[in-house]
A and B are shown apart, each in its own frame.
Chain A
Amino acid sequence: MNESKNYFAVFVLGTDSPGIVADISKALFELGANINDSSHTIIGNQFAMLLLISTEPVYNTETIQNAFQIVTQKRGLTVYTHQLRHEDVYRKSSEPGQLCVIHLYGADKPGIVYQVTSLLAKNSVNITDLSTRRFGSESKPIYIMYLEAEVPNNIDTRKLGSDLNKLALSLNVEIKYELEEVASL
């Protein structure tokens, strides 16, 4: 991280169409901003993009919003800019924990995401990636979830695994739970 830069999180949301990414990156290029991290997905027919950008220190949220004015008007996008404190640019943790991957699938019912994530929260597990999809017929929808998380080293992982299995039984879904050490090479 460069201390002399300003950092912003930028959210972009709108109806998907070809060329949105090019228009957004053009606006940032012309501003002289650097795209440090970005993630972009389509949810339904909505284009959703999240960027972490860095700029010269003269820029603030207003100047960033203004830079997007043409593209937001042309494409009917919603853009939200949030300035980051330097300590929030990169993740920091004194205790990295263990990597945990959870795959879940089964007949859809209310509360799957809530029950799994609240069990993890009770165990101080930090979710780092989560994606879900609902598919199948409307009368018999299927739910699928993929979750990555960091489990603190002081958590009893066997008990967590057995609690997840109990939850899978009560929700009548399949849960696969894997713990892995990150090889340091």
Chain B
Amino acid sequence: MAVLQILEYPDPILKQLSKEVTNFNSSLETFLKDFIETLNSHKYCVGLAAPQTGNLQRIIGIDISRARKPHLNNGLLILINPKILEVSDFKIVREGCLSIPDFTANVKRAMHIVVAYQNAKGEAKILSTKDFEAHAIQHEIDHLDGVLFLDKISNPASDLFRRVRY
């Protein structure tokens, strides 16, 4: 088990497209252990995408129970090959990204989504979720497509905020 290094923009890997996972084998299992350990190593971090660790596979991890405040959530979720089927109830929300550590941004996200994915065993699942969890899943799926919040903001003066240092 190991905490993986998080790539930071402008690392070009963050702008690449991740590949579908086809083999649900032991090397996937090993990666997932490190991936979850990495997610858990960052305080209040509620989501991580495999490409942020340099692994260009369509894998995201979400755990809203790690947020500073309580939100409705499904605990730790590993979503492999996730596809958003439905979006509704859009809202401007603030998000930070481990790969762009100095800033947070105002981004428009759907507050209700339905997502199809495979779990760590390769079983097909459907999840309908809302609010903070829906928001986090959309941010992480963007990473699988090489999309960062920098692609989503319009005006840096009104949408981009220098992060207050912890």
Q: Which residues of A contact B (CB under 8 A)?
A: 39, 90-94, 96-97, 99, 128, 150, 180-185
Asked whether, in the complex, the Cβ of A99 is within 8 Å of the Cβ of B46, the reply is no
Asked whether, in the complex, the Cβ of A96 is within 8 Å of the Cβ of B94, the reply is no
With an 8 A cutoff between CB atoms, is B17 at the interface?
A: no
Count how many chain B residues have C-beta atoms less than 8 Å from C-beta atoms of the other chain.
30
Return B70 CB to nearest CB of chain A, in Å.
Answer: 10
Q: Which residues of B contact A (CB under 8 A)?
A: 42-48, 67-69, 71, 93-98, 104, 132, 135-136, 139-140, 157, 161-166
Asked whether, in the complex, the Cβ of A185 is within 8 Å of the Cβ of B164, the reply is no
Return A93 CB to nearest CB of chain B, in Å.
Answer: 5
Which chain A residues border B136 with CB–CB below 8 Å? Answer: 183, 185
Q: Residue of B at shortest CB range from A126?
A: B164
Return A39 CB to nearest CB of chain B, in Å.
Answer: 6
Asked whether, in the complex, the Cβ of B164 is within 8 Å of the Cβ of A150, the reply is yes
Asked whether, in the complex, the Cβ of B164 is within 8 Å of the Cβ of A184, the reply is no
Asked whether, in the complex, the Cβ of A91 is within 8 Å of the Cβ of B164, the reply is yes
Most buried by A among B42, B45, B71, B157: B157
Chain B interface helix/strand/loop/mixed: mixed
Which chain B residues border A183 with CB–CB below 8 Å? Answer: 46-47, 67, 93-96, 132, 135-136, 139
- Kindly state the separation between the CA atoms of A181 and B69 in the bound complex, as whole angstroms: 8
Asked whether, in the complex, the Cβ of A99 is within 8 Å of the Cβ of B42, the reply is no
Which chain A residues border B47 with CB–CB below 8 Å? Answer: 183, 185
Closest 8 CB pairs of A and B: A183-B95, A96-B164, A185-B47, A185-B139, A93-B164, A182-B94, A184-B44, A184-B45
Asked whether, in the complex, the Cβ of A185 is within 8 Å of the Cβ of B165, the reply is no
Q: Residue of B at shortest CB range from A153?
A: B68
Which chain B residues border A93 with CB–CB below 8 Å? Answer: 164-165
Which chain B residues border A128 with CB–CB below 8 Å? Answer: 161
Q: Residue of A at shortest CB range from B163?
A: A96
Q: Residue of B at shortest CB range from A37?
A: B162
Return A139 CB to nearest CB of chain B, in Å.
Answer: 32
A-B contact list, 28 entries, CB within 8 Å: A91-B164, A92-B165, A93-B164, A94-B166, A96-B164, A96-B166, A128-B161, A150-B164, A180-B93, A181-B67, A181-B68, A181-B69, A181-B132, A182-B95, A182-B96, A182-B104, A183-B46, A183-B47, A183-B67, A183-B132, A183-B139, A184-B42, A184-B44, A184-B96, A185-B46, A185-B96, A185-B136, A185-B140
